[in-house]
């Protein structure tokens, strides 16, 4: 058994524990490499099936390739695909991209962090709790219809990795959040061996993190080994640039890289110029404790 096998087997174990304990379970799929590995691991855990809905929060600023890829895989894997969106904020244009050209200090200007708070955290909260409308893919037509189900999800599987940044390094595999999605990082439940918190009071829900022990390199090595399809944005298409992590277009800068496929990416991470560069350095909203604050408020 090699290291990747061990990571895979532990993640499968955690996914099965989650499925056992939460009747209202869903998995977040950001279309990025981590949550796509997570989706693959779910198919491993359940012998080719994914027995819970996949939830995607669409900020409307995602790159079009991501959406096309999402819908293609949803049809191919027969996924229960649920999409949520903060339509009010989008309609009233209270977003960073819509207001970025306003002068500094303008009362209507929305910061990147506040924009994430609305379009991601806010939309996610509403979608998980069922207070915002959900759309569900109709596998016969490939179209999205309003989802009649508005019950809250009590277990949410998330692809966070501990090596991404400081506050994620403090997560549990099973992490309870209260009604407002708040994370009490100083008072997390103990995890002895493979016993996780699976009992919780009404109103709370639990985030499940099967990928905590994986590094960015592990993810790519696993994608290579399992031959998992990924979005083309991760690779240089001839422009000398590629995305190292995927987010919204306006807050996500591609990096200079000529990696054209998975093998190239692995070489670049292992011995090339990315060896010692933090993965989220291309994300513009992090800053000092920016992500910790976002996470306390429900950000993934």
Q: Which residues bind other proteins (CB under 8 A)?
A: 1, 3, 5-6, 9-10, 12-13, 16-17, 19-20, 40, 43-49, 51, 78, 162-163, 165-167, 169-170, 172, 185-186, 188-195, 197, 199-201, 212-213, 215, 226, 276-278, 281, 288-289, 292
- Could you tell me the smallest distance in angstroms from the CB atom of residue 195 to other proteins? 4
- Could you tell me the smallest distance in angstroms from the CB atom of residue 295 to other proteins? 10
Give 96 or 220: the residue with its C-beta nearer to other proteins.
220
Give 20 or 72: the residue with its C-beta nearer to other proteins.
20
- Could you tell me the smallest distance in angstroms from the CB atom of residue 256 to other proteins? 15
Give 58 or 165: the residue with its C-beta nearer to other proteins.
165
- Could you tell me the smallest distance in angstroms from the CB atom of residue 11 to other proteins? 9
Give 17 or 71: the residue with its C-beta nearer to other proteins.
17
Give 54 or 212: the residue with its C-beta nearer to other proteins.
212
Q: Find residue 56's DSSP bridge partners.
A: 83
Give 61 or 183: the residue with its C-beta nearer to other proteins.
183
Backbone torsion region of residue 146, taken as left when φ is above 0, otherwise alpha when ψ lies between -120 and 50, otherwise beta: beta
- Could you tell me the smallest distance in angstroms from the CB atom of residue 289 to other proteins? 5
- Could you tell me the smallest distance in angstroms from the CB atom of residue 45 to other proteins? 7
Counting Cα atoms < 13 Å in the Cβ hemisphere of 241 gives 7
């Amino acid at each position: 058994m090699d290291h990747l096998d061990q990571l895979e087997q532990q993640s499968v174990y955690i996914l099965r524990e989650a499925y056992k304990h939460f009747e209202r379970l869903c998995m977040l799929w950001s279309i990025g490499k981590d949550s796509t590995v997570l989706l693959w691991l779910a198919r491993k855990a359940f012998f080719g099936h994914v027995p819970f809905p996949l939830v995607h929060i669409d900020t409307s600023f995602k790159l079009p390739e991501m959406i096309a890829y999402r819908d293609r895989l949803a049809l191919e894997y027969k996924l229960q695909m649920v999409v949520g969106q903060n339509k009010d904020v989008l309609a009233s244009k209270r977003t960073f991209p819509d207001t970025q050209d306003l002068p500094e200090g303008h009362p209507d200007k929305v910061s990147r962090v506040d924009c994430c708070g609305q379009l991601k955290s806010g939309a996610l909260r509403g979608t998980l709790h069922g207070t915002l409308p959900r759309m569900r893919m109709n596998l016969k037509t490939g179209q999205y219809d309003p989802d009649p189900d508005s019950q809250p999800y009590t277990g949410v599987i998330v692809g966070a990795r501990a090596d991404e940044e400081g506050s994620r390094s403090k997560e549990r595999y099973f992490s309870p959040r209260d009604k407002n999605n708040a994370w009490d990082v100083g008072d997390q439940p103990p995890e002895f061996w493979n016993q996780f918190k699976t009992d919780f009071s009404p109103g709370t829900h639990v985030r499940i993190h099967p990928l905590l022990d994986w590094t960015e390199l592990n993810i790519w090595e696993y994608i290579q080994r399992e031959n998992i399809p990924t979005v083309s944005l991760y690779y240089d298409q001839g422009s000398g640039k590629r995305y190292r992590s995927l987010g919204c277009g306006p807050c996500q800068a591609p990096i200079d890289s000529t990696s054209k496929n998975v093998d190239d990416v692995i070489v670049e991470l292992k011995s090339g110029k990315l060896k010692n560069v933090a993965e989220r350095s291309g994300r513009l909203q992090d800053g000092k404790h920016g992500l910790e604050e976002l996470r306390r408020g429900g950000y993934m």
